[in-house]
Amino acid sequence: MERCRGRLPDDKAQREEREDAIAAMLDEHPALENHSHLQALFEGIAVHHAGLLPAWKAVVERLFQRGLIKCVFATETLAAGINMPARATVISCISKYTGDGHRLLTASEFLQMSGRAGRRGMDKVGYVMVVHHPKEMVTAVAKLARAEADPLDSNFRPGYGMVLNLLQRHSLESCRKLVEKSFGKFLAEHRGGGEGMKQAQQRLVEMQKPLCPAALGDLPAFRKNLERDESLRRQIQGLAKAPKHGSVKYEILRMKADRDRIQGKLHESPCNQCPKIAPCAEQAHRRRDLEQFLKKAGAGTKDTPYWGQFLALCAVLERLDYLHDYKPTYKGEVAAALRASNTILLCEVIFAGVLETLEVTELVAVLTCLCNEELRALEQLRLKPKRYVAEALNECRVIAADVEKLQRQKNVDVPVTVVTAFAPLAYQWANGCTWLELIELSGLEGGDLVRSLRRTLDVARQLSFVPGIPPQLAEKARQIETLIMRDEVAESLSAMDA
């Protein structure tokens, strides 16, 4: 976007309309007046990705839909579920990073992105351009352009909340019939046997062979080190803006030493500048797809693991006293009423009384650690939580370890996470630090921070009214909203709700 600034022709009438529209939107969201992309927006260009503040993304989307933005530089999030068609779409490369390395786009991903081109009722033709990359074959682009969309797959996974809610209303046998009607069961029956299974097994054997032209490299470790290096770079950049007292200088020096060590590992890795890095990542992705397919297909039979997973979850819930004779207990009723990704751990922490003695700001810090997922960018964050928060988090980790041990015994694979790195960030925000201070402190994107705080607020709201929550805890949960819902967070959450 920065390289594009000042290069696009601009119509005076449209520029005036754009300025009026931006001014009106800034009246709605005053906190965006200092956004670093604002001047580019006045020129009719913008950026759109998941890490941006939701309020800012909403402004970009509305201006683009009105035709007041000429060009948006975006990740593929813009291609999925957002009404932002364009006259032309430029795809910068046909590979993407998935967390385990780079892989080629699937036919459906390419179709979804290219489908942005051509505005209904305005353009007779939509233009799609793919930028050539020296490590990507032109024939691969042609293959993607001609390919049919990928077949639909099922992401159905029984979870604790689903088990408890079904058993509230149905008998065990009725639950089985419902689970066996899932789309995943249908797919397994139609894909699971015959030649399809044999061919998949043969391809999986072939894909075990490494593609490395010389020494074997560890691509996941290489990618992880790349992410760590980038995270450290951003944190060093953020700390450089802070007052230069002794602890900050020491932290910058320590981070630079860590970064030098990681860059040394990157330089020594066989994956560094390897010509096979993209095909290798693609092979790993295809291999995981095949392994998942074989697992879903039930090793060549028409049986699916879904009902077995359901019963295994029931076994864990019975041991923890959430179920008795396949009916929810008092604890089970409370857990069934909560909507959170870490429901059982959250309930175990509540019933153990860990949260009731905390101050409201401390409660914000602990809840944020219980209801969010790990972020790679947090790995290098060295901030320590306050004493009582740290003690509560230690108790949470002990409870989480007990739940994980029980899950292993019952063959249940459900994440039970306590993301302690969130604690000092949520605590600082609840104590009134400014948004810019929080950004510099964390090194995270604004959108990532808003998402984590929104999850905390959502859980706090539930704890304030769900029957069975201790009254003292429910009262503190009601006070959390005023601590979280302010400034950029309040504006962004309002934009998301709208």
Is 70 exceeded by the pLDDT of residue 217? yes
The 10s digit of each residue's pLDDT in 312-328 is 999 999 999 999 999 99
H/E stretch holding 168 reads: helix 160-169
> How are beta strands 71-74 and 45-48 bridged, if at all?
parallel
Q: What is the Cα gyration radius of the chain? A: 25
Is 70 exceeded by the pLDDT of residue 46? yes
Report the alpha-carbon distance of residue 166 to residue 172 in Å, rounded: 9
Mean of pLDDT values over 442-455: 87
Q: Other C-beta atoms within 10 Å of 381: how many?
A: 19
The 10s digit of each residue's pLDDT in 346-375 is 999 999 999 999 999 999 999 999 998 877
Is 70 exceeded by the pLDDT of residue 296? no
Report the alpha-carbon distance of residue 158 to residue 326 in Å, rounded: 15
- Predicted confidence at residue 397, as pLDDT, reads 94
Which of the four pLDDT bands, split at 50, 70 and 90, describes residue 300?
A: very low
Question: In sequence order, which residues have a C-beta less than 8 Å from that of residue 426 and are 6 or more positions away?
Answer: 364, 365, 367, 368, 369, 452, 453, 456
* Extents of the domains making up the chain: 212-275
> How are beta strands 88-91 and 127-130 bridged, if at all?
parallel
The 10s digit of each residue's pLDDT in 389-448 is 999 999 999 999 999 999 999 988 888 989 898 999 999 999 999 988 888 888 788 888
